[in-house]
């Protein structure tokens, strides 16, 4: 798995998820996740996120999402670790 965060279009993300090639991690806080979330997304708030502890050892890509993409972009190095 690479450690580079490449922007994806919603269609490409959906395609990878549908093919089982990826898992969707929502890095918003629990109250935001409770209000609205993408189907199948796992909640892993950025404030407590341990990327090493995601427990994803099956080779799938990890797609991070937030409300607008700003948190994901601003924390790219941390998320890519």
> Domain spans of the chain?
10-80
Model pLDDT for residues 23-35, shown as the tens digit of each residue: 999 999 999 999 9
Q: Among 1.10.3470.10, 3.30.70.520, 3.40.250.10, 1.10.3720.10, what is the CATH number of 10-80?
A: 3.40.250.10
CA distances from 33 to 6, 29, 53, 63 (A): 23, 6, 20, 16
Terminal-to-terminal C-alpha distance of the chain: 11
Q: What pTM value is reported for the model?
A: 0.80
Quote the CA–CA distance of 71 and 16 in Å, as a whole number. 22
Contact 58, 21 (CB under 8 A): no
Model pLDDT for residues 30-80, shown as the tens digit of each residue: 999 999 998 889 998 988 877 666 666 678 888 989 888 888 887 777 777
Contact 41, 28 (CB under 8 A): no
Cα within 13 Å of Cα(6), Cβ side: 8
């Amino acid at each position: 798995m690479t450690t580079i965060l490449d922007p994806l279009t919603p269609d490409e993300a959906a395609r990878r998820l549908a093919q089982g090639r990826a898992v969707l991690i929502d890095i918003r806080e629990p109250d935001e996740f409770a209000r609205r979330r993408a189907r199948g997304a796992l909640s892993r708030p950025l404030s407590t996120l341990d990327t090493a502890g995601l427990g994803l050892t099956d080779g799938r890509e990890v797609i991070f999402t937030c409300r607008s993409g700003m948190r994901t972009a601003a924390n790219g190095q941390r998320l890519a670790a």
